[in-house]
Amino acid sequence: MIRTACHVPGDTASVLSVLQVQRWLRRCSATHSKYGSIGLDVSLPTRLIDVEFGLRLVETKGMHNRYVSLSHCWGDRDSTTAKRTFKITRENLSSSLENIDFTSLPRTFIDAIIFTRKLGLKYLWIDSLCIIQDDQDDWRHEASLMANIYENAVLTLGATASASGSAKIPKFPVLIRIDARITSKGKRYIVYAQRQLPHLMQYEPLYKRGWIFQERYLSPRFLHFASNELIWECREGMGCECNENKLLETTDSDPVGYFNAFKSYYLEAFTASPYRVQVAWRDVVHAYTELNLSHAKDTLPALSGITKKFIGLRPEDIYLAGLWESSFVYDLLWHAESYGILKKSLRPRLEKWRAPTWSWASIDSAVMTRGTSHNYGNDDEPRMTSCIDVLDVNCIPAGDDITGELSSGYAVLRGSVLAGYFRFKPRSYESHCIAKGGYEMSFFPDYRLDTDDDSRVQDGDCVFCLRIATDSPRRENSLDDFLVLRRKRGMIGTFERIGVMTLAVDGNDFYRMFESRREECAITIV
């Protein structure tokens, strides 16, 4: 089938491309008014780049105006190119307020500056130029403001196809002239052809980056500089230069629409029931943890903007290292995945502590829970009942932001516990097991247990299972959920989580043994 499409200029900096973006901006501003007008001045971020005349850093000090933000991949920060890339530090802060050398900037930044100028806007926000990179306090403060920074931007430019700051925003293939004819009325016309452009957004470099998750979701308007064309995304629709609108409107067969599904879950949470808000959060965690971060310490900060939006939806609730007080038991039921868009494998326990082991933020794998929309459709209440008493949960932030980095955390839970032994079967599909009284049951490990460090769990080591929740109401094929724990080395009476286990209630010998030998006790998990 031969379809008609719009001409793709082949250069994102072309007059035609800029005019198209301006049309998208005007249409969004006029028809999607609840998301803010493009002509509305807002309170500006702490610092911005003034691109109007020359180039310099501006400390806004309460100013109101309009600005554009940039979302991009840092690339390999340990590379020689990355080390030479200009960024704001305490040493060059004063001079940057006077002037920034245009030639010192990476190619992606230069392209973003040029495009901002062509849109007729004065200010641009770029993380490495507007946050002091060698000042931890400044970084934590600015990271806590990410929700406002991206939400208030007129437009976010996404260097979607660029794997690092040194890459140019791409130019696209030109059309091929096929024929020229004269109509019966004597009018001359020309026929051009181009391959149908793919819209496989999830494979672009930017979509593999953890920070893009909140940058994209919080931005009212996001412009993708993709591999083949410009793709527009706002909270009420999508568009592209080739104008394949029918493809972009679908969500079941089109990759763009499919990859946009998690954004829909996030936006729907703002009008959902309290339980569906809980489910939406777990969907967000699942999608977010499939992505990669250059620095492990960024796991919670890189989601802090979206977290703050959910705090607004759960004003009576308490946020706890990626979990929530009101749904703490059900939020505990995450397990590590070793598949997904990026096919992240099970990884070793982190060398440096980042979060308590009961939090998904303590590992680097993608996670899934039994309480997401993938499992339970559109239920408005959980299908599980808690089997534990949560006696105490405490998380201490490293700075002033409760959604940012942590310095410590623990949970005290009372419930039914059974001690057993770890069994490892390297050639078996069910390779990680708890053994007790001649019975064995497999579990999902949170991380690689065979590493040569303090996190290693060896065959024969003592481990424990703590029952967390059960299906409600009880029915045929009901399941109970357990945390798998071990004693924390060097800390008396303290445990750490190493996995999660699900047991069938009926006809299960291990479950019957658990019921006959379990003990009720309170344990502290760090």
Amino acid at 483: L
Contact 260, 285 (CB under 8 A): no
HSE (side-chain half, CA atoms, 13 Å) at 439:
15
In which residue ranges of the chain is pLDDT below 70? 1-13, 33-37, 75-84, 164-183, 192-203, 243-269, 338-344, 371-379
- The pTM for the full model equals 0.85
E-assigned strands of 283-401? 319-320, 323-324, 334-337, 366-369, 384-386, 389-397
Structure letter (DSSP) for residue 196: P
Distance CA 277, CA 269 (A): 5
Q: Give the pLDDT confidence score for residue 255 in this predicted structure.
A: 39
Q: Give the pLDDT confidence score for residue 84 in this predicted structure.
A: 60
Q: Is 52 helix (H, G, I), strand (E, B) or coil?
A: coil
User: pLDDT digits over 442-467, tens only?
Assistant: 999 999 998 888 899 999 999 999 99
Pair of tokens at residue 301: 């900060």
| Kind of pairing between the strands at 519-525 and 494-504 | parallel
Burial (CB count within 10 angstroms: exposed 0-12, middle 13-18, buried 19+), residue 193: exposed
Distance CA 314, CA 37 (A): 28
CA 74 to chain centre: 16
Q: Give the pLDDT confidence score for residue 250 in this predicted structure.
A: 39
> Rounded to 10 degrees, what is the CA torsion of 392, 310, 72, 239?
150
Longest dimension (CA), the chain: 93
Distance CA 127, CA 141 (A): 13
Distance CA 247, CA 239 (A): 10
Burial (CB count within 10 angstroms: exposed 0-12, middle 13-18, buried 19+), residue 466: buried
Pair of tokens at residue 66: 């309009």
